[in-house]
Each structure stands twice: as structure tokens, then as C-alpha cells.
Structure 1
């Protein structure tokens, strides 16, 4: 599993929150393994180009597919590109 190779257990934030998983590539900490996996897959850039999702309506780039979907709903009114 990808996240297992990138995780370090328990990282304290200093503000009372506990970040249990840390990316070994950039050092960002996350509370859940799924958040670390998403970061590793889409945000960190380790697995390819960071901005791989493009809005076909306006050309804006996103690093995560859920951000592109939210953009289309909020900015373009949910319009589907042809």
C-alpha cells in the first residue's frame, strides 16, 4: 500500500491536535491515513504532474479531481463540457 510507505505514526501539532501520519516527501502531517494517501496521490507531486485535472470550460488546472468537480459546480453552475 502506498500510504504505508509514506507514513510515520504520531506527529504532534503543538496545538493539542494529533497528526498521526506524515508524508516523508514533504513533511506535511495528517490525522487520517486516507488523507495522507490522497495527499500522496494528488498533491505532493511524487507520482507525476501536480496539476493534472483541467476544467474543459475555462482551462483552470487542479491537483485533485474533487476540487475540479467543486469548481464546475460553483463557477460554471454544474455545466457539463462536451
Structure 2
């Protein structure tokens, strides 16, 4: 089957202490869809922030590369922002 590029959106909220908590992750079909969904989530009350991600999955060996952030919207963990390529 080989490798394939996958896109998704990771949602973030905050717990009662104000710490970021990862919430659900939504799969997307295209980078444009991932960016649009992350933008909408970052502006809504669904979550405090969201990131659009791109990853390369290799189905033959069941491994995935570290996801690459392609967009950040709203309030996300500082540790994530510190590793952005932009």
C-alpha cells in the first residue's frame, strides 16, 4: 500500500487550572480542509484553539512520521508554538 499523506485538526481546551488539554482530533481530506476547520474551531467556542497537521503514514510498516503543523488558530500550548517552522 505504501506511504500516504494525511491531514487532521487537533483541538485544545483548558482544564480548571488553566493548562492546555488535547481534545479530539478530526481527520481531513485536504490541507485546505484542515486549515479551514482549524480556523473555524479557533474562532468558535468548541475549543480554545486548534492546529492543522500534516503527517506521512506508512501503512506497510504501521509507522507515521512526526506531524508537521501547517496552521495554528486560537490559544494553543506554548511548547507547540516553540517548535513551529514559521
TM over 0.5: no
Q: Which is helix-richer, 1 or 2?
A: 1
Larger Rg: 1
Higher relative CO (Cα under 8 Å, sequence separation at least 6) belongs to: 2
Q: Which is strand-richer, 1 or 2?
A: 2
TM-score norm. by structure 2 comes to 0.29
